Amino acid sequence: MNQIASAANRGRVSMVKEQWAGLDALRQRLPVLRATLSQVINERRRRGVTLYRKFVAEHQGRQIGYPCSSSELLPENGTVTEATI
């Protein structure tokens, strides 16, 4: 946007008043848009951190790649037989 205005000021690009008005309106709205997007990004980041902390709390002590502890894999009596394999 600044390059367009700079080129117009140097006479390289001819702009009519309506185009200048459009650029001015855009310049006025950009800070509001930037602030809004920043709020959205911060909220998504906050939710992601909360979700990650919840995941870690639920899976505390479990190694990556192992869905459960070895006691959960064994039958109730603790004996592994050919039928349980």
Residue 60's SS3 state is: coil
DSSP letter (8 states) at residue 63: P
pLDDT at 20: 80
Q: How far apart are CA 23 and CA 29, in angstroms?
A: 10
pLDDT at 74: 56
Amino acid at 2: N
Residue 71: band (very low, low, confident or very high) from pLDDT cuts 50, 70, 90: low
pLDDT at 15: 66
pLDDT at 17: 73
Q: What is the pLDDT of residues 4-18, one digit of tens each?
A: 677 666 666 666 677
Q: What is the pLDDT of residues 33-65, one digit of tens each?
A: 999 999 999 999 999 988 888 888 887 766 555
Of residues 79 and 41, the one with the higher pLDDT is: 41
